[in-house]
Amino acid sequence: MTLFRHRANRIALHGRSIERNLSSAFLSLYRFVFVRSRAQRGVALLLVVTTIVMLTSATMEFAYGSKVELDLAGNARDRVRAEFLARSAIEFSRVIIHIQKTVIDRFKKQLPFPIQLWKIVPIDSDLAAAYFSSISRGQDREDQRGQGGQEIKEEDTEAGQLDSLSTGIKRFGDFKGRFFANVEDEDGKINVNMAQFKTQQKQFRELMLMLMAPAKYNFLFEHPDKDGNFTDREELIASIVDWVDPDDERSGPEGGHEDSRYSTLDDPYASKNAPFDTLQELHMVRGVNDEFMHIFGKRLTVWGKTINVLTADAPTIAALLRFGLPHDDPLQSPSADSKVLELAYEFVALRNQELLVNSLKDFVDFFKTEGLTLNQAKIARVAGVDSSVFKIKAVGEVGRARVRITAVIDASQVPGGRLVYWRLD
């Protein structure tokens, strides 16, 4: 017992010692904060305020960083979704092209007028969703009538079940964002890559000359370029031919090496001697400038097969008329420029209405009634009534993310089309 009492006394003594120490620490802190001089208290307050400010700014920085990272992740997710919506628009367009090639073009002689499905069918997810939604509502009404006691067909029941929300299967349009696309045929234009083939160079030169022939385009060839060089129509066409043909000889009366056009420039380069991959490459060719591209760029392509007279614009049709007319025809004179263009516009206005044009013969016959004698065999070497190459410009949008895809499909061999160009922006 004595031992225990002794230990208890020691613990009690130790406890009082801790109490004394704690009291001393609190007293020091109290004195530091409340009893020290006013200057010392000011320093302490400053330290506390500074610490609070630093902690607050660090917390806000962390919160801002987290928000940015969250936004970035959200934008990346939306961009991926937008890309795949744009891809959906491309596939939607390919289905349209497939139907055009396998159904419409096959039976076009039985049709009352030419049908270009890619111009008629809108490729837009909002419109498609509205269309499918109306079909679905109609189906629901059919189902309700069926449940009222009338006989229900087996397929109606299945469709109703599939459309039911209880199945968990989404209807078309039940996704975030939208897509749309524009399809344009490349066969309504003149293909500058024709110039790579010896067998087509003569036609290409003449066709390009006829496109640029009108006197209203003279201004393009009357001023020197930034290097002080003049380029007339023939020289510009010869430069395009030399850019893509495999040899190094300069076309035209001057002769020599074709790269003499570019070797004396401040930043010299050589002709490509290969087909154009994009139309923008034309800017590399002697004489081609922004004004030239602004006027003729939309009538030129690097992908089309032959000029489709059913889709070409009026100035291209006018070029084709000059190409098919005899060289000594009065309509070849500069004073007849407006008359030829007027006839071309008249044809363009009529071709998709009551006028039946299913062949180049119909095309030639139409202008025969206008007094033109066109060489059908010559026109047939560069033109036709079919389109096989299509450029699709598709857009996918989700939130603030927007993805644009440009694709070119060649459906001349495969109905669904072969992909020949793909660009994602």
Nearer to Ca ion, 105 or 242 (CB): 242
What's the closest the beta carbon of residue 244 comes to Ca ion, in angstroms? 7
Nearer to Ca ion, 231 or 271 (CB): 271
CA dihedral 102, 106, 110, 112 (to 10 degrees): 60
**Residue 185 vs residues 79, 198, 410: alpha-carbon distances, Å:** 28, 26, 10
Give the DSSP H/E element, type plus range, for residue 409.
strand 401-410
CB atoms within 10 A of CB 279: 16
Nearer to Ca ion, 273 or 352 (CB): 273
| Residue 214 · residue 341 · CB < 8 Å | yes
Nearer to Ca ion, 195 or 344 (CB): 195
Nearer to Ca ion, 225 or 247 (CB): 247
What's the closest the beta carbon of residue 189 comes to Ca ion, in angstroms? 23
| Residue 215 · residue 337 · CB < 8 Å | yes
| Residue 407 · residue 92 · CB < 8 Å | no
What's the closest the beta carbon of residue 65 comes to Ca ion, in angstroms? 57
Of 295, 372, 360, nearest to 331 by C-alpha is: 372
Query: How many whole angstroms separate alpha carbon 399 and alpha carbon 79?
Result: 9
- 79: alpha, beta or left, given left = phi > 0 and alpha = psi -120 to 50? alpha
What's the closest the beta carbon of residue 201 comes to Ca ion, in angstroms? 11
Give residues with Cβ within 8 angstroms of 177, minimum separation 6: 78, 81, 82, 85, 396, 397, 398, 399
Please report where in the chains the tokens 């620490």 appear, as a residue: 25
Query: How many whole angstroms separate alpha carbon 412 and alpha carbon 418?
Result: 8
What's the closest the beta carbon of residue 272 comes to Ca ion, in angstroms? 8
What's the distance, CA 267 to chain centroid? 32
Contacts with Ca ion, residue ranges (CB under 5 A): 242, 245, 271, 273
What's the closest the beta carbon of residue 358 comes to Ca ion, in angstroms? 39
What's the closest the beta carbon of residue 277 comes to Ca ion, in angstroms? 16
What's the closest the beta carbon of residue 259 comes to Ca ion, in angstroms? 8
Report H helices in 213-359: 233-244, 290-296, 314-324, 337-351
What's the closest the beta carbon of residue 261 comes to Ca ion, in angstroms? 11
What's the distance, CA 390 to chain centroid? 12
Nearer to Ca ion, 178 or 261 (CB): 261
Query: How many whole angstroms separate alpha carbon 46 and alpha carbon 266?
Result: 67
Nearer to Ca ion, 185 or 245 (CB): 245
Nearer to Ca ion, 61 or 249 (CB): 249
Nearer to Ca ion, 273 or 376 (CB): 273
Nearer to Ca ion, 184 or 245 (CB): 245
Please report where in the chains the tokens 């009026």 appear, as a residue: 314
Query: How many whole angstroms separate alpha carbon 287 and alpha carbon 255?
Result: 17
What's the closest the beta carbon of residue 273 comes to Ca ion, in angstroms? 4
- 185: alpha, beta or left, given left = phi > 0 and alpha = psi -120 to 50? beta
